[in-house]
């Protein structure tokens, strides 16, 4: 999700600015369909793996740090469900440049959350490599 989130933040959402107002509702609907497919593949895998890591934390990893990683994941998905999902729903209406800017600005929250998870995941891998060495 880390890579997807950065691609969305840096490329996808800013491209919303380039869509003609008359074409925006169709563009937003197409975006919603395509991003839902990507999320349908990635999100369950990430959630299952996070739960598995917490329930069966390998020796050498701090269960508390694994919990923090899971909490970051939960925060990202809660933000998506409570705020970003409804915000995306507003794009089905008329073109609204302020709404696009709000999405770009506020999405940094999710980008930071998934970036922090990536840092922790990298640390997990490093810890496991050191244990096996």
44-87 pLDDT, tens digit each: 999 999 999 999 999 889 999 999 999 999 999 999 999 999 99
Whole-angstrom CA distances from 26 to 7, 36, 90, 100, 132 are 21, 15, 13, 15, 52
Looking at beta carbons, which pairs linking 18-26 to residues 24 or more positions away fall under 8 Å?
19/95, 21/94, 21/95, 22/95, 24/91, 24/94, 24/95, 25/91, 25/92, 25/93, 25/94, 25/95
Q: Which percentage of the chain shows pLDDT scores above 70?
A: 98
pLDDT at position 133 over 80: no
Q: What is the model's pTM?
A: 0.89
């Amino acid at each position: 999700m880390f890579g997807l989130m950065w691609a969305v933040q840096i490329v996808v959402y800013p491209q919303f600015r380039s869509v003609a107002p008359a074409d925006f509702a169709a563009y937003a609907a197409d975006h919603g369909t395509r991003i839902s497919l990507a999320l349908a593949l990635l999100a369950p895998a990430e959630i299952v793996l996070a739960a598995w890591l917490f329930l069966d934390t390998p020796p050498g990893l701090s269960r508390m740090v694994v919990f923090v990683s899971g909490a970051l994941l939960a925060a990202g998905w809660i933000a998506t469900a409570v705020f970003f999902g409804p915000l995306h729903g507003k794009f089905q209406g008329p073109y609204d440049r302020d709404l696009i800017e709000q999405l770009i600005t506020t999405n940094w929250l999710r980008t930071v959350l998934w970036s922090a998870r990536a840092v922790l995941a990298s640390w997990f891998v490093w810890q496991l490599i050191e244990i096996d060495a």
